[in-house]
Structure 1
Amino acid sequence: MLILLGIWQLVTFITKSEIPGPVATWTVFSEMLAEPFYDYGPNDKGIGLQLWYSLRRVFLGFALGSLIAIPAGLLMGSSKIGMKLLNPIVQILRPVSPLAWFPLGLLAFKASDQATIFIITITSLWPTLINTAFGVSSLPADHKNVGKAFGFSRWKYITKILLPFALPHIITGLRLSIGIAWVVIVAGEMLSGGVGIGFFVWDSWNGLSLEKILSAILIIGTVGLLFDKIFNVLQKAFSYESK
């Protein structure tokens, strides 16, 4: 962090303070944190409210994407027919930019808020889907034979053997997906406007407040780091150990 602050200060010196330094940014950041939840109208809300609206959209889009990705990944990983049917669709849709989905979201939902949730859903589900499919497909044959030897029903096989083995891979996919969702929300809110951390960045640019932009970047990065740490803990907690 000290190296990063040093580079930041050096950039400020080279640009002759056109890019605000850490001290100037911290001053503005402290003012923002002094009253983070004020609401003076549609285009004048505190950073706390902006962050809350973004987190709400991210979690909703992420949850919807996960509800699609995990069952589809289970199907792809456990069935050759499922893999042949779904894999071409995944490979075609996965590289599409979230910004390309936004007009379709507006057309379908007639509202920018729902369109933003839609692009988060459609772009964040792929890592979870792919990692789930990989985890399921890599299940050793011995594990499958155990289920057959004990006469497990399909449901018991899924809950006692398949999911416990694939769970670390699923959590890895979720960890990557939440990161993508958090990246996409900024771009989506810049397009949709209204409220949110992405809109806050764009509005700050229009107001020529680079200190606010840098403060928002620090907040976005910190929240992304917290997401990653949380899923890292979950990944270690649910790591598969064969007995």
Structure 2
Amino acid sequence: MSTLESLPLAPPAAPGALRTWAASLARGFMTHVLPPLVIVGFLVLVWQVLGSRPGAALPSPSKVVQDTWELIVHPWYDHGGNDVGIAWQLLASLKRVAYGYSIAVVVGVSLGVLVGQSTWALRGLDPLFQILRTVPPLAWLPISLAGFRDGHPSAIFVIFITSIWPIIINTSIGIRNIPEDYRNVAKVIRLNGYEYFAKIMLPAAAPFIFSGLRIGVGLSWLAIIAAEMLIGGVGIGFFIWDAWNSSRLSDIILALLYVGLVGFALDRVVAFIGRKVTRGTSAA
């Protein structure tokens, strides 16, 4: 036997460690993967049975896949104008959400810090915030269209005005709940305004801030879908509305599935960042 043949292909794994890893993997599958798979499978089966009946109002899952197969396998096609694949539609919506949500984060955190730090600002601005946050997102669209005279910035404004309120409220609550001991330490070591903001205020309020950011990103995604149904152009909201006008129910169901998956992904991304920034102390 040659020297080369006598060399092991991989270092031998300890049997005990391998069994422990396999058991942990099995427990994780049974705990986190199997339950949603069973529930989703059951719901799809019920949907298939109901959708396959004669005269059913909605198509069955198999019919949806059959009708939308080209959209599924070719999501990036571009035939010009609004005739683009569903991936481009989602990307256009995500760009609008990125702009509007980013502005809401900057303005919302700033106003939240102001309201949390200043009793005068709290008494003056909180009633205004409580009134404006109850206005439905689409109610802002006519005002934004009148002001911007263009659908793209109007949609961004709707995202901004919808998502900013939970960010402001949660940030202000976090600032007001900073322990008094932290404030006393800052006075003893004579931190200046910037040092106090960066080293005391933001780390202490971060769990509250990221709770608001998670709510805000979910509201942003909800708002853009509704706004795009009215402003037109490229976007998943307009795609859904156009499919409804053309009686393409399968396209609508596929789009709703993608909308849900993207919304879930956005929430998970913000939650992941929150855990990293707060070192696991955030409820996100």
Q: Take 2:43 and 2:122, find their aligned partners in 1: how far apart are those partners?
A: 45
Partner residue in 2 for 1:217? 256
* Paired amino acid for 2:100: G
Partner residue in 2 for 1:89? 128
Superposed, which structure 2 residues align to 1:147-186 within 5 Å? Answer: 147-186=186-225
Q: In the TM superposition, what is the alpha-carbon distance from 1:161 to its structure 2 partner?
A: 0.5
Q: Relative contact order (C-alpha < 8 Å, sep 6+): which is higher?
A: 1
Partner residue in 1 for 2:45? 6
Q: In the TM superposition, what is the alpha-carbon distance from 1:141 to its structure 2 partner?
A: 0.5
Is the contact made by 2:229 and 2:237 (CA closer than 8 Å) also made in structure 1?
yes
Where in structure 1 are there 5+ consecutive unaligned residues? Answer: none
TM-superposition CA deviations, 1:123-143 (whole Å, max 9, x none): 111111111011101001011
* Paired amino acid for 2:153: Q
Partner residue in 1 for 2:239? 200
Is the contact made by 1:167 and 1:240 (CA closer than 8 Å) also made in structure 2?
no
Where in structure 2 are there 5+ consecutive unaligned residues? Answer: 1-39
Greater C-alpha Rg: 2
2:207 is the alignment partner of 1:188: no
TM-score, length basis structure 1: 0.94
- 42-51 vs 193-202, which moves further: 42-51
* Paired amino acid for 2:212: G
Structure 2 CA distance for partners of 1:79 and 1:195, relative to 1, 3 Å: same
TM-superposition CA deviations, 1:132-169 (whole Å, max 9, x none): 01110100101101101111111111110110011121
Is the contact made by 2:90 and 2:236 (CA closer than 8 Å) also made in structure 1?
yes
Partner residue in 2 for 1:56? 95
* Paired amino acid for 1:139: I
Q: Take 2:53 and 2:172, find their aligned partners in 1: how far apart are those partners?
A: 49
- 173-182 vs 224-233, which moves further: 224-233
RMSD: 1.7
Q: Take 2:44 and 2:241, find their aligned partners in 1: how far apart are those partners?
A: 24
2:278 counterpart SS class = coil
Superposed, which structure 2 residues align to 1:16-165 within 5 Å? Answer: 16-165=55-204
Percent identical across equivalent pairs? 39
Q: In the TM superposition, what is the alpha-carbon distance from 1:233 to its structure 2 partner?
A: 1.4
Is the contact made by 1:37 and 1:45 (CA closer than 8 Å) also made in structure 2?
yes
Paired residues in the alignment total 242
